Amino acid sequence: MIVAFVERDAPHLFTYRGKNGEGTPFRCSDEFVRKFLKTNLNWTWRQATKAAQKLPVDAAQQTRRTFLRMAATIRDETIDPCFIINADQTQVVYYSGTQKTYAPRGSKQVAVVGQEEKRAFTLMVAVSQDGSVLPFQAVYQGR
């Protein structure tokens, strides 16, 4: 993608050889990409922690059927746009427990109270089709 953006926005970089014409033209090397990602996006190479969710083979057909079913229901039941709501929820962590503490140098065993504890709540945000932003809902303890 970086090459595509450079070709679109600054194609001369691939042929530019410096002021005296003796330099080497820009090359989008692996090292350049790593430095760019680290410096500009604050990204780093990480170990994967879980498998990405896979889409079903017929995802497009399922999406179309769901859309048509919803459109027909909205039309047939004359549902007002203020009753059509899009919502999402996310976990907000305000204390993630700790893995580190101060201990005398050379300690072999270091105990930490609350290492497994995590303080978080679920925040749900929603907006209706007429553009109204609904009040946030926060769930602090679930069952």
pLDDT of residue 61: 96
Helix (H) or strand (E) segment spanning residue 137? strand 137-139
What averages of pLDDT result for each successive group of 10 residues across the chain (143 residues)? 79 77 78 84 76 87 95 93 93 74 75 70 93 92 68
- The torsion angles phi and psi of 3, rounded to 5 degrees, stand at -60, -40
Q: Residue written as tokens 């497994």?
A: 116
What is residue 79's predicted lDDT score, i.e. its pLDDT? 92
Task: Please give the Cα distance from 129 to 100 (Å, whole number).
Answer: 47
